[in-house]
Amino acid sequence: MEIVGLDSVLLAVGDLDEARRFYGDRLCLPMRFELPDLGVAAFGLGAGRPALVVRRRAVGEQAPRESPRVWLEVPDARAAAGELRAAGIRRVGEPFEVQTGWTVEVADPWGNVIGLTDYVKRPDLGRLRA
């Protein structure tokens, strides 16, 4: 078996309209497609096909979950942390150092954790190579 890449990450959400606002308006992920009758919306994750797919389920607001966690690459995680704070998005904690740079994690209203990570210490490994 050969894995050729990431296709989609699927997360349960309690309210599709609120998920559109959180992922589309606040995290600025572009809408890929919507299937409102099925309670599904998909947001693009950079170039190519990968998507973050949310599906309405009977889940209420929750504290941040330990897993799964989805990390997305950004040019500067510490700058992103400031943008998140200004937008009123609840962060799981302060930005923290990782082997390749920095990461900040946020939780959506249903406890799904999204990390924004950069490669400032190892730009040779990131998508935004100099």
Where do you find CATH 3.10.180.10 in the chain? 1-57, 67-130
Options 2.40.50.140, 3.20.20.140, 3.40.50.300, 3.10.180.10; CATH for 1-57 is 3.10.180.10
**Pairwise CA distance, residues 59 & 110, whole Å:** 7
What does the pLDDT read at residue 129?
58
What does the pLDDT read at residue 101?
93
Looking at residue 94, its amino acid is E
What pTM value is reported for the model?
0.80
* pLDDT of the chain, 130 residues: tens digit per residue: 665 567 789 999 999 999 999 999 999 999 999 999 999 999 999 887 789 999 998 777 777 777 788 999 999 999 999 999 999 998 999 999 999 999 999 999 999 999 999 999 988 888 775 5
What does the pLDDT read at residue 31?
96
**In which element (H, E) is residue 17 found?**
helix 16-19
**Pairwise CA distance, residues 62 & 114, whole Å:** 14
What does the pLDDT read at residue 1?
60
29 burial type by CB count under 10 A (0-12 exposed, 13-18 middle, 19+ buried): buried
